[in-house]
Amino acid sequence: MSLEAIVDSLPLSEPVLLILVSLAGQPRHGYAILKDVERMSDGRVVLSTGTLYGAIRRLLEDDWIERFEERETSRGRQAYRLTSRGRRNLQLEVDRMKHLTRLATLRAATNES
Amino acid sequence: MLNAYQLLLRLYPATYRAEFGEEMAAVFEDVRTDSGHNAFAARAVFYVREIVGLVSGAFREHLHFRFNAPDVSLFPRGFTVRNGFRFPRATPILMAIILAGVILAIRKGEVIATSLPPFSQPVTPIHPAHSYLLPGVFEGFIFFYAAGLIGWAIVFALRRSGVHRLRDVSSGSK
């Protein structure tokens, strides 16, 4: 995927962004992602399993995340982690948001003065 | 409940189901167990969220697998069931109106049924009443159900527009 294509896919939807942020810290399985997203958003974003796995399918397809078998648990569950492409795209999105926040803060301050 | 979930999973394309079906069911079971101690309303919201997520997800995946369509949603943006979801206060009133309508329609149907002459005598209607009166229980139910839905949609649209918050806005001038 070229940089232009990545930039075209921004801004990310809030659930996708939160899933990527959740996986940026450490690899997680589906249930852990759901709980982490809920915790990070203070309960504002609560994903259903249908929404979560729809997003996971797209992220796997675009090679933003990868799947592996979690060996630490007895159940041998599938877990997910960010690929280098996913991490780079997340960074691009964070940079975009930072730029927007800076701009908004500046404009709001100018308007007040 | 897990059986019902697995049944709904059949709405998804077979390839998707083969890849994610088992895992989705396991996660659903984990979340369901986790929410087992919650209040009835919270559990109801959880089930509604899961059903909405599954149906819209299946719709999206079919579009994707069949037509390679970009991701679309079956429900309008913002139609999500969150933990803080509360029914509008008008909902119980509308539900009571619908219930009263259904009961009235049933009563009317019973009255008509008992007042009809026996079948041995041919009945010749003076004019076709069914064209402007509710003829039966089923039609009555449909009518009041539709009225309730329209009422709910109006309340939902008004709440989405934020009109109920207007009273909180003060102009600052006394």
Q: Which of A48, A51, A57, A67 should we substitute to test contact with B (largest number of B Cβ atoms within 10 Å)?
A: A48
Q: Is B19 left (phi over 0), alpha (psi -120 to 50) or beta?
A: alpha
* Cβ <8 Å between B56 and A50: yes
Q: Which of chain B's residues have a Cβ under 8 Å away from the Cβ of A48?
A: 49-50, 52-54, 57
* Cβ <8 Å between B54 and A46: no
**Pairwise CA distance, residues B9 & B22, whole Å:** 10
> Mean pLDDT across the stretch B7-29?
92
pTM of the predicted model as reported, rounded to 2 decimal places: 0.62
CB A23 within 8 A of CB A65: yes
Residue B127 pLDDT grade (very low, low, confident, very high; cuts 50, 70, 90): low
* Cβ <8 Å between B56 and A30: no
CB neighbours (10 Å) of residue A27?
A: 16
Nearest to B53 among A43, A51, A77 (CB): A51
Residues B85, B91, B92, B98: is their CA dihedral positive or negative?
negative
Q: Which of chain A's residues have a Cβ under 8 Å away from the Cβ of B9?
A: none
User: Which residue's structure tokens are 């504002």?
Assistant: A44
Q: Which of A49, A58, A74 should we substitute to test contact with B (largest number of B Cβ atoms within 10 Å)?
A: A49
Residue B108 has pLDDT above 70, yes or no: yes
Residue B28 has pLDDT above 60, yes or no: yes
Mean confidence (pLDDT) of chain B: 73
User: Any idea where the domains of chain A sit in the sequence?
Assistant: 3-112
Q: Report pLDDT digits (tens) over B33-49.
A: 887 777 777 888 888 88
Please, what are the averages of pLDDT over each run of 10 residues along chain A (113 residues)?
A: 59 88 94 94 90 92 90 73 94 93 90 70
CB B85 within 8 A of CB A81: no
Q: Which of chain A's residues have a Cβ under 8 Å away from the Cβ of B85?
A: none
Q: Which of B28, B43, B73 should we substitute to test contact with A (largest number of A Cβ atoms within 10 Å)?
A: B28
List the CATH code of the domain at A3-112: 1.10.10.10
CB neighbours (10 Å) of residue B118?
A: 6
* Cβ <8 Å between B16 and A57: yes
Residue percentage of chain B with pLDDT more than 70? 62
Strand boundaries in A46-113, DSSP class E: 65-69, 78-82
Residue B124 has pLDDT above 70, yes or no: no
Residue B25 pLDDT grade (very low, low, confident, very high; cuts 50, 70, 90): very high
CB B43 within 8 A of CB A43: no
How far from A16 is each of A10, A25, A60, A62, B142, CA to CA, in Å?
A: 11, 15, 12, 13, 40
Nearest to B57 among A29, A30, A50 (CB): A50
* Cβ <8 Å between B31 and A54: no
